[in-house]
Amino acid sequence: MTAVTTATSVPRPRQPGRSNRRRFLLPLGGLAVVAVFLGPYIVMLLDALRASKDVLRTPTTFWPRDWQFTTFNTVLSDTRFLNWLKTSVLVATTSTLIVVLVAVPAAYFTARHKFPGRIPFLFLVLVTQMFAPTSLVVGLYRQFFELSLVNTYLAIILTNSAFNLAFAVWILHGFFSAIPDEVEEAAHLDGCGRLGTLWRIMLPLTRPGLVTAVIFTFIAAWNEYVVALTLMQDDAKKPLTVGINSYVTGYEQNWDQLFAAAIIAIVPVVILFAVIEKHLVGGLTAGSIK
């Protein structure tokens, strides 16, 4: 039956048939992508909702035998968890702010001024992304120990900022480079100062790049583990990534609580994304020069 319909549809004008197919295929394809990428996440959710006694029972079943909705409450009323959450929010937010404030001027300058040291500068920035963090940590610890910054928020905020600066500089550099020189020249002619141009013309134009840099930095800082593990020994000041591991140790295995905590830990990231996602869309460059 289907073969017949496709055969007959060939002589028909292509346009309507194609757009019809597209209307179905795109959401379907999107749905498939969602299924694949959310699948493991659903496994996690189901395990968080499974009765604690069933979590480690074999053979495993996909659907919980007994539902247990209290696990989320247990986690959320745990003061340790709330402390970790607070640290993560503080560290990720501050690091992101620092990265944006520091990276934007550097990226702007390297993109708009073709000075001789430009490529060495970009490569030097990149070099900081080439050393295994697990080994960097030894030197970081010594350094922050000398500065008596071990166990402080400042230490992990600084480290996270430094770790993500390279990516922010590179990606913003790409976006600044993509803006035609004429735009900036027009702003100069209109009497816009250099910082005024950056603030009023260039930043709005590179908003997708800026949003990308913010999301990436926030997520990377949110997920940082190795450095926080070494530099934060005070349990109350640990970030989520480090703290969350104490749900599953050699002594107790609360997988359901671990998964519930992991799910809650994603919420701030999703909120951030929902708030700034619209700026990712809609490059304004489209109409800026004619």
Partner 1 sequence: MAVTEAPARAPVAKSKKAYSNEDHGRLAAMLLTPTMAVLLIVIGYPILAAMYQSLFTTNQGVDESGFVQEGEKFTGLDNYTAIFSGAAGERFWNAFYNTTFFTVVCVVIEVIIGVMMALIMNKAFTGKGLIRASILVPWAIPTVVSALLWRWIFDANGVANNIINQQILWSTDGWQAKAAVIIADTWKTAPFIGLLVLAGLQVIPAEVYEAAKIDGASAISQFRHITLPLVKPALLVAVLFRILDNLRMFDLPYVLVGAQKPSVETVSILAFLENNNARFGSAAAFAVLLFLYIVVVAYAFVRLLGADVIGDARVKTPKAAKRRPNRSIARGDTP
Local structure of 60: helix, strand or coil? coil
Taking Cα atoms as reference points, which of 131, 110, 280 lies closest to residue 212? 280
- Nearest distance from C-beta of residue 66 to partner 1, angstroms: 18
- Nearest distance from C-beta of residue 1 to partner 1, angstroms: 23
- Nearest distance from C-beta of residue 86 to partner 1, angstroms: 16
- Nearest distance from C-beta of residue 228 to partner 1, angstroms: 10
Distance CA 110, CA 123 (A): 12
173 or 237: CB nearest partner 1 = 173
**Are 107 and 168 within 8 A, CB to CB?**
yes
**Distance, C-alpha 210 to centroid of its chain:** 13
Q: Burial of 139 by CB count in 10 Å (0-12 exposed, 13-18 middle, 19+ buried)?
A: exposed
83 or 212: CB nearest partner 1 = 212
72 or 121: CB nearest partner 1 = 121
41 or 67: CB nearest partner 1 = 41
**Are 243 and 89 within 8 A, CB to CB?**
no
1 or 6: CB nearest partner 1 = 6
- Nearest distance from C-beta of residue 188 to partner 1, angstroms: 7
